[in-house]
A = this chain, B = another copy of it.
Amino acid sequence: MKIMFRYNWQIREEWYRWCEQVPEEELLRARTGGVGSVLKTLFHIADVEWSWIRILKGQPDFEEPFESYASLDKVRKLDAAFRAEVESFVNAWEESMETRPLYLTRPDGSVEIEAWGTIMRHVIAHEIHHIGQLSVWAREIGLAPVSANAIRKGLIQPNIARK
C-alpha cells in the first residue's frame, strides 16, 4: 500500500512538471468529464488524499474551494503543505489498521462503517483514476501525457541474490 502512495506521489510530481510547459489558461480551461480542468484535478487529488487521512485521524478535513488555489504555484504549495502529514500517516501504516472501522455519518443521520484499509485504497485508486483523465486532456491540448508506467521507478528493490 505504501508503494502505491509512493507511485502516486512520483506521478503527481511529474504532472506538476508537465504543467510548467502549458499556459495557465489551458490548465484552467473547463473540460469534459472529471472535475473539469487540469489544475482543479490536481487540487482535488491533493484535497481528497489529505482529507481522508484527516478523517481517519478524527481531525477536521479540508473544505476550501478550488477558486482560492487556482494557479499551478498555489496548488503545488497546498499539496506540499499537506504532504508531510500524509506521508507520516502512510509510513506509520501497519497491518492492524487494515480492518479498523471508520464510522461515517450520512447526510440523513444514519451511520455506515468502512475499514481503514478500504479508505486508503480508495485514496490510491481515486488519484490514478483522475490522472487517467488528465492523460486524455493532455492529448486534447496536443501534448504527450506523463506515462502512468509503474515499472522502472525503483518502487521495489528486486532480490537478485535468488533467481
* A interface with B by C-beta (< 8 Å): 3-4, 7, 31-34, 98-102, 112-119, 121-122, 124-126, 128-133, 135-140, 145, 148-153, 155-160, 162-163
Contacts and interface: CB of A to CB of B under 8 A. Distances in A.
Protomer copies:
2
Contact of A118 (B102, B136, B156): B156
A102 B152 CA distance: 12
Nearest to A52: B151
A158 B121 CA distance: 14
A116 B162 CA distance: 13
A15 to B, nearest CB: 12
Given A115-B155, A133-B133, 6 more contacts: A34-B135, A113-B160, A114-B152, A118-B150, A122-B149, A136-B136
A121 B155 contact: yes
Contacts of A128: 125, 128-129, 132
A141 B101 CA distance: 39
Contacts of A135: 33-34, 129, 132-133
A159 B112 contact: no
B162 A101 contact: yes
17 contacts: A3-B118, A32-B136, A101-B158, A112-B152, A113-B158, A114-B152, A115-B157, A116-B158, A117-B155, A118-B150, A118-B153, A118-B155, A121-B150, A125-B150, A129-B148, A132-B133, A133-B133
4 A-B pairs closest in CB distance: A132-B132, A33-B136, A122-B150, A115-B156
